[in-house]
Structure 1
Amino acid sequence: MDWDQARIFLAVARTGQLLGAARRLGVNHATVARQLTALETDLGTKLVERLNAGCALTPAGEQFLVAAEAAESAFLRAAAALSGTSTAVSGTVRVGAPEGLGNSVLAPALAGLGEQHPDLVVQLVPLPRTFSLSRREADIAIVLDRPNRGRLVTRKLSDYTLGVYAAASHLERIGAIVSEEDLRTRLHVTQVEEFSYSSALDYAATLRRLMPRRFECGSVAGQLAAIRAGHGVGIIHDYVAARHQDLRRVLPHLHFRRSYWMTTHPDTHGTRRVQEVYACILQAVARDRETFIREAAG
């Protein structure tokens, strides 16, 4: 079996698209189609149904997927063992993380790591979504809910708190917020519920019952910008708010505590490049530890 062909098959199976596989592998669409056809010819069976909306595995494709993933795991474990003997840090590591943590804490730290190691490419993907390590969507994923299924290496990264914040300009223009009743006429800056991807994001419901007027934004950065512009009130991570002197915490009895979990796949956890990025994330969070937790009485 040609490993390049198997690698392309895996990318198609995981993305569900020829074009998606081409983008992931950094090759053109025609190469993916040609190599996949060659693999099917070699095996004497159809592995993938090409559909208008994407690709679907045939029963033979499902069977071959198991064998291809087993071969991939063996290859990655061997690479991890060999990389442990090297002093060089090279290759690509993709980190999937929640937007607030990724933009505020991880981006500067991981860019610094990339500057130290010329042959290391760190891809930080701070998006409001989950990442599948088994489908190789990321090498390291930071999640809000502790995983309870799958072959994963999991550790608690940190607890963190969130509070209710308004800009100083908002409070000066409209007035102080000293009770929950003061929220009735304010604009609630919040997430778009349809895009909520974790039960840990349910804290917005607390303000929703108090504030009938809403501006909804699917981006944490967008919510932060709207609050800092003085247009409304919203829930912000305390470690994010600590970086902006124009924000004021209001109604400190309304506070929320959640956790971040860091996960890796056992096949790649031991590689030198993943270990370097893993350690960098731990150090970055440790440096900011005092800003991650703010007591309710704040």
Structure 2
Amino acid sequence: MDWDDLRVFLAVARAESLSGAGKRLALDPATVGRRVARLEAGAGARLFLKSPLGYALTEEGARLVPHAEAAEAALMGAEEAITGGAGAGLSGQIRLGAPDGCANYILPQVIRAICDENPGLEVQIVALPRVFNLSRREADLAIGVSRPQAGRLTVQKLTDYRLHLAAHPDYLAAAPPLRTLADLPAHRVVGYIADMIFDKELDYLTGLGAMAPAMASNSVSVQLNLLRAGAGVGVAHDFALPFAPELVRVLPEALSLTRAFWLIRHEGDAHSARLARFASGLAQGIRREVQRLEAQSQSAVAQDT
């Protein structure tokens, strides 16, 4: 089989459409369709079924995917061997998916440091409040808030992080007393839009007895800015609080949550020395940055008390 046709096959399998694959490959959809037809003719099997929803893999196509990905990984390994060994700087483009809290408050500092050390590297941070599909190559690596239980993936725990209730002093001064968690239902709560919580680890308010959030967003940064505007009380990341110094923690002894970040990679990339080096630097940087920001947040709380 021709590698270039396999490359087109993988793009269609991941995008589930000729137009989506064409955008990734800089080819027009008609050309992509002809290349798929050529591959199917050479293989003597139908690899895709076309439907109103797009192109779905047939059983034969699904069996071809891991072999095509192995060829892709081998080609990437050959390119890495030619362009430089372990002592060379990282180069090329890497796309990293992350939840928006991590993307907004942790990754800018971490990625800046990595790119300072590797001037030839281009990093794209895709900040979306949802789970990334690495099989479709939406990203080369992804950071998640829970460990995936399915898929051909390699998973590494990065670090724990902490969250507490927070609010603006002006809101607390005008609102009813908030001395225990039992007082929370009397308050205006800021949180996630319930039907847009993409991971159970983000369902912070269930079990607290609070009403549905009066002001809600699927974005961590929007929620934090609502708290900064005095909109109410809500759960905030400790690592984000240094970016909102006007906020104060509320009932920290009564409610202290711990969650974790996980680094997720496609199983087929396990032998990529380039991605392994990037992942190593990323993991170290995220651990350091979470520790630094949380220590800064804790120091600010200590000064206020």
Task: Give the TM interval when normalised to the shorter protein.
Answer: 0.7 to 0.9
CA shift for structure 1 position 239: 0.8
1:230 Cα deviation from its structure 2 partner: 0.8
Matched, 1:33 2:33: yes
Aligned pairs for 1:112-127 (under 5 A) are 112-114=113-115, 116-127=117-128
Task: State how 1:59-74 maps to structure 2 within 5 Å.
Answer: 59-74=59-74
Are residues 1:132 and 2:109 paired? no
Query: Aligned residue for 1:104?
Result: 105
Give the Cα–Cα distance (whole angstroms) in 1 for the partners of residues 25 and 213 of structure 2: 45
Q: Distance in 2 between matches of 1:59 and 1:277?
A: 33
- Contact 2:111 2:282 (C-alpha < 8 Å) held by counterparts: yes
Residue in 2 that maps onto 1:286: 288
Matches of 1:287 and 1:65, distance apart in 2: 37
CA drift of 1:227 comes to: 1.4
Q: Distance in 1 between matches of 2:167 and 2:28?
A: 48
Task: List runs of 5+ in structure 2 lacking aligned partners.
Answer: none
Residue 50 of structure 2: aligned partner: 50
Could you tell me how far 1:246 is from its partner in structure 2? 1.0
CA contact (8 A) 2:47 2:59 kept: yes
Q: Does 1:272 align with 2:274?
A: yes
Percent identity reads 36
The answer on whether the counterparts of 1:40 and 1:47 sit within 8 Å (CA) in structure 2 is yes
- The alignment partner of 1:40 has SS state of helix
Give the aligned partner of residue 94 of structure 2.
93
Mapping of 1:101-250 within 5 angstroms? 101-114=102-115, 116-174=117-175, 177-207=178-208, 209-212=209-212, 214-250=214-250
| TM-score, scaled relative to structure 1 | 0.85
Counterpart contact for 1:110–1:281, Cα < 8 Å: no
Q: Size of the alignment, in residue pairs?
A: 296
Letter in 2 for 1:22: G
Could you tell me which runs of 5 or more consecutive residues in structure 1 were left unpaired when the two chains were aligned: none
Equivalent position amino acid for 2:68 in 1: A
Q: Are the counterparts in 2 of residues 159 and 292 from structure 1 also a CA contact under 8 Å?
A: no
d(CA) in 2 for partners of 1:188 and 1:279? 38
1:267 offset after TM fit, Å? 4.3
Per-residue CA deviation, residues 81-131 of structure 1 (Å, 9 max, x unaligned), is: 555356142111111222111110102331453355443221111222222
Q: Which amino acid aligns with 2:190?
A: V
Describe the shift of the 1:271–1:97 C-alpha distance in structure 2 as closer, same or farther (beyond 3 A).
same
Residue 63 (structure 1) shift: 3.0
